[in-house]
Amino acid sequence: MARFVPALALALMLSSSVAAAQIAGGDDVWDGGYDVKSERRSDFALGVGLGMAMGEGHGVMNEVEQLNDDSYEQSTGVALGEDLSVWLGGAIRDWFVVGVGVTLGRSQGNDILIARQTYHLKLDFYPAYSLGGGWRDLGVQLDGGVGGLTGFDADDKDQKVFEGGSVSAIGAGAFWEGLRFARGRFGSGPSLHYQLLTGLPSTAHTVTLGMRLTFYSGPKHRQDNEVAGAWGRLRL
């Protein structure tokens, strides 16, 4: 028992020193960031987006004789359609949200109908959050993942024109979700997004202009509904 006494005494001295340093340091002691209080968004997040899509897709069938022969390539030219996105995740900070989602889309041009599907990781940043007001809801989205891309004859949906099989997906966009309601738990607003689907043997570029709606389960202390603008707020 006696051999543990010096070790116990040393432990008590160290703990006393740490406590004294914390008292002396006061507010200057770093708490690891765990005491940060969210104001705008936190905890669980669930979102949906719907928009009009414009882009272009081209490719060939995944067959040996077509892969290296440009004469087989089919292109939609300018194609118009729509996109639907659904995602879920969490708000790590007021200025950073991470999630996983799926996007389904279709567009048509030059008598070719493109079907697109992507499964992706998405990151939402709010780089101007510290400016306050409506700037807190101005965001930038980055996303990447995998998906599928297929072109069909617009008059015969059973006839494939080109196919991409499994393709890589990468995207970026901007949005504003300053229309707040249900005590601020829902944020909505316009969005603009670009996505590239590429793989052997097909590629598609798509720009989507639409609206997004996001639910945040926190923070718990919010009191008001509001439409937040960069130059002020209107209480509802």
CATH number at 87 reads 2.40.160.20
Q: Is the pLDDT of residue 151 over 80?
A: yes
- What is the structure's pLDDT at 230? 41
Residue 157 CB burial class (10 angstroms; 0-12, 13-18, ≥19): exposed
Confidence label for 221 from pLDDT (cuts 50, 70 and 90): low
- What is the structure's pLDDT at 124? 98
- For 40-49, 114-123, 198-207, 224-233, which range has the lowest pLDDT when averaged over its residues? 224-233
Q: Is residue 73 in some structural domain?
A: yes
17 vs 36, residue with greater confidence: 36
Helices (H) and strands (E) in the chain — how many of each?
Answer: 2, 12
Q: Is the pLDDT of residue 31 over 50?
A: no
Q: Is residue 7 in some structural domain?
A: no
Confidence label for 33 from pLDDT (cuts 50, 70 and 90): low
142 vs 63, residue with greater confidence: 142
Q: Is residue 37 in some structural domain?
A: no
Domain that holds residue 191: 42-235
Confidence label for 70 from pLDDT (cuts 50, 70 and 90): confident
Confirm if 145 and 119 have CB atoms less than 8 A apart.
yes
Q: Is residue 181 in some structural domain?
A: yes
Q: Where are the alpha helices (DSSP H) in the chain?
A: 5-25, 64-67
**Dmax (CA) of the chain:** 91
Instruction: Tell me the torsion sign for CA atoms 148, 152, 156, 159.
Output: negative
Confidence label for 35 from pLDDT (cuts 50, 70 and 90): low
- For 63-77, 127-141, 146-160, which range has the lowest pLDDT when averaged over its residues? 63-77
Domain count within the chain: 1
Instruction: Output Rg (C-alpha) for the chain, integer angstroms.
Output: 26
- What is the structure's pLDDT at 66? 84
Q: Is residue 211 in some structural domain?
A: yes
- For 68-72, 115-119, 121-125, which range has the lowest pLDDT when averaged over its residues? 68-72
Q: Is residue 202 in some structural domain?
A: yes
Task: Name the average pLDDT for the chain.
Answer: 84
Residue 70 CB burial class (10 angstroms; 0-12, 13-18, ≥19): exposed
Q: Is residue 31 in some structural domain?
A: no
- What is the structure's pLDDT at 4? 45
Q: Is residue 65 in some structural domain?
A: yes
152 vs 7, residue with greater confidence: 152
